[in-house]
Structure 1
Amino acid sequence: MDIANLSLALNSAAAGKARQAPDSNAEQTKAEKEKALRKTAQEFEAVFISEMLSHAGFDKAVSQDAGFGGEAFSGMLVESYAEDLAEKGGFGLADQIYRQLKGQLK
Structure 2
Amino acid sequence: MEIQPITTPAPSRHEQLMSKAEELEATFLAEMLAHSGLGETQGAFAGGQGEAQFTSFLRQEQARLIVQNGGLGLAELIFNSMVEAESGAA
Which of 4, 17, 34 is equivalent to 1:54? 34
TM-score (normalised: structure 2): 0.73
Q: Which has the higher contact order (CA 8 A, sep 6+)?
A: 2
Structure that is richer in helix per residue: 1
Which of 59, 69, 77 is equivalent to 2:58? 77
Structure ID, larger Rg: 2
Which 5+ residue runs of structure 2 have no aligned equivalent?
A: 1-9
Q: Percent identity?
A: 31
> RMSD between aligned alpha carbons?
2.2
TM-score (normalised: structure 1): 0.63
Q: CA deviation at 1:56?
A: 0.8
Moved over 4 A (4+): none
1:104 is aligned to 85
Number of aligned positions between the proteins = 76
